[in-house]
Amino acid sequence: MRIAQIAARYLYRRAERRRARGQVAAALHDLARAARAGYAPAQHALARAYQIGQGCPRSGAVAKRWYAAAAAAGYTDAQFELGLILLNKRDLDWMAGFSSAWLNHRADQEKSLVAALFPAGFESDGNPAEALAWLLRAAEADKAEAQANVGWLKLKGIGCERDRAEAHRWLSAAAVHDVSQAALGLAEYYGAADANERDLGQSALWAKKASELGNASGSHRYGLARRDGAGVERDSLEAERYFALAVEQGHPTAAYDGAVLALARNPSAGEFQALVERLRLCAKRSHIPSAMLLADLYGRGDRLQPDIREVAHWYRVAADLGDVQAQFMIGCLYARGEGLGLDLKHAARYFELAGNGGHSQAAFNLGVFSLNGQGIEQSVAEAKRWFSIAAKGGLVQAQLRLGQILEREAVTQVELASARMLIKRASDAGNGEAKIALAQMLLADGNPDSEQEALVILREAMNAGEIQACELLLRKEATGPDLEAVVQSLQRAARSGNSGAKFVLAEALLSDERVPRDAQTAIALLKEAAAAQEARAHFLLGIVYCQGVHVSKDLPRGYRHYLEAARLNHPLAQYNTGVMLLHGTGVDKSVEDAINWIRCAANNNLQKAVEFIRGVEQRALLADASN
Residues ≥6 apart with Cβ < 8 Å to 16: 27
Assign 135 to helix, strand or coil.
helix
Q: Say how far apart CA 578 and CA 601 lie, in whole Å.
A: 9
pLDDT digits (tens, 9 = 90+) for 241-296: 999 999 888 888 898 999 999 988 888 888 888 888 889 988 998 899 999 999 99
pLDDT digits (tens, 9 = 90+) for 529-586: 999 999 999 999 999 999 998 899 999 999 999 999 999 999 999 999 999 999 999 9
Residues ≥6 apart with Cβ < 8 Å to 179: 96, 144, 145, 147, 148, 213
pLDDT band at 233 (very low <50, low <70, confident <90, very high): very high
Q: Say how far apart CA 36 and CA 601 lie, in whole Å.
A: 92
At residue 210, does pLDDT exceed 80?
Answer: yes
Q: How far is CA 349 from CA 330, 344, 364, 366, in A?
A: 10, 8, 13, 9
- Percent of the chain past pLDDT 90, that is, above it, reads 65
Q: If you average pLDDT over every residue of the chain, what do you get?
A: 89
Cβ–Cβ < 8 Å for 30, 21: no
Mean pLDDT on 218-240: 95
At residue 608, does pLDDT exceed 80?
Answer: yes
pLDDT band at 92 (very low <50, low <70, confident <90, very high): low
pLDDT band at 193 (very low <50, low <70, confident <90, very high): confident
Give the model's pLDDT for residue 101: 43
Residues ≥6 apart with Cβ < 8 Å to 116: 103, 106, 107
Whole-model pTM? Answer: 0.71
**Exposed/middle/buried for residue 621 (C-beta within 10 Å: 0-12, 13-18, 19+):** exposed
Give the model's pLDDT for residue 444: 86
Strand boundaries in 295-355, DSSP class E: none
pLDDT band at 127 (very low <50, low <70, confident <90, very high): confident
Mean pLDDT on 595-600: 95
